[in-house]
Amino acid sequence: MSPSRTDSATRNASPTAPPAAERTALRHPKDLLLREDRLPHIWCPTCGIGTCVASFIEAIAETGIPEEKFAVISGIGCTGRVAGYVKLDSFHTTHGRAIPYATGLHLAHPEMKVVVFSGDGDLVAIGGNHLIHAARRNLDITIICVNNFIYGMTGGQLAPTTPHTARTTTSPKGNWEYPFNVPHLVASCGATYVARWTSLHVRRMRQAMREAILKRGFSLVEIIAPCSTLYARKNRLGTGYDLMKFYHDNCEVRHGADTKELDIEFQQKIAVGKFVDVEKPTFLDRIGAGRKK
| Residue 94 interacts with another protein (CB under 8 A): yes or no | yes
Helix (H) or strand (E) holding 241: helix 240-250
Relative to beta strand 270-277, strand 193-198 is antiparallel
**Residue from 106, 184, 204, 210 binding another protein (CB under 8 A):** 106
Q: How far is the CB of 258 from another protein (least distance, A)?
A: 27
Interacting stretch for another protein, rule CB under 8 A, among 95-103, 170-178, 229-237, 266-274?
Answer: 95-103
Please give the sequence-ordered ranges of beta strands (E in DSSP) within 44-163, or none if there are none. 70-74, 89-92, 113-119, 142-147, 150-151, 157-158
98: how many CB neighbours lie within 10 A of its CB? 34
Gyration radius (Cα) of the chain, Å: 20
Work out whether 233 is an interface residue with another protein (CB under 8 A).
Answer: no
Q: How far is the CB of 126 from another protein (least distance, A)?
A: 10
**Which parts of 50-69 interact with another protein (CB under 8 A)?**
50-51, 53-55, 58, 67-69
Q: How far apart are CA 87 and CA 275, in angstroms?
A: 31
Distance of CA 274 to CAs 177, 278, 286, Å?
Answer: 27, 11, 26
Host H or E run for residue 54: helix 49-63
| Cα–Cα distance for residue pair 137/139, rounded to 1 Å | 5
Q: Does 49 bind another protein (CB under 8 A)?
A: yes
CA distance 144 to 196: 10
Q: In this chain, which stretch among 91-99, 188-196, 209-217, 265-273 interacts with another protein, using CB under 8 A?
A: 91-99
Q: Is 249 in the site for another protein (CB under 8 A)?
A: no
In the window 5-34, what residues touch another protein (CB under 8 A)? 5, 7-21, 23-26, 28-31, 34
| CB-nearer residue toward another protein: 97 or 233 | 97
Q: Decide: is 89 part of the binding site for another protein (CB under 8 A).
A: yes
What stretch of H or E contains 221? strand 219-224
- The DSSP symbol for 230 reads I
Does residue 280 interact with another protein by CB under 8 A? Answer: no
Tell whether residue 268 is a contact of another protein (CB under 8 A): no
- Residue 118, interface with another protein (CB under 8 A)? no
What is the footprint of another protein within residues 156-175 (CB under 8 A)?
none
Question: What is the closest distance, in whole angstroms, from the C-beta atom of residue 263 to another protein in the complex?
Answer: 26
Q: Determine the interface stretch with another protein among 170-178, 207-215, 216-224, 236-244 (rule: CB under 8 A).
A: 236-244
Contact 141, 220 (CB under 8 A): no
Residues numbered 192-231 forming contacts with another protein, rule: CB under 8 A: 199-200, 202-203, 206
User: Do 205 and 52 meet the contact criterion of CB atoms below 8 Å apart?
Assistant: yes
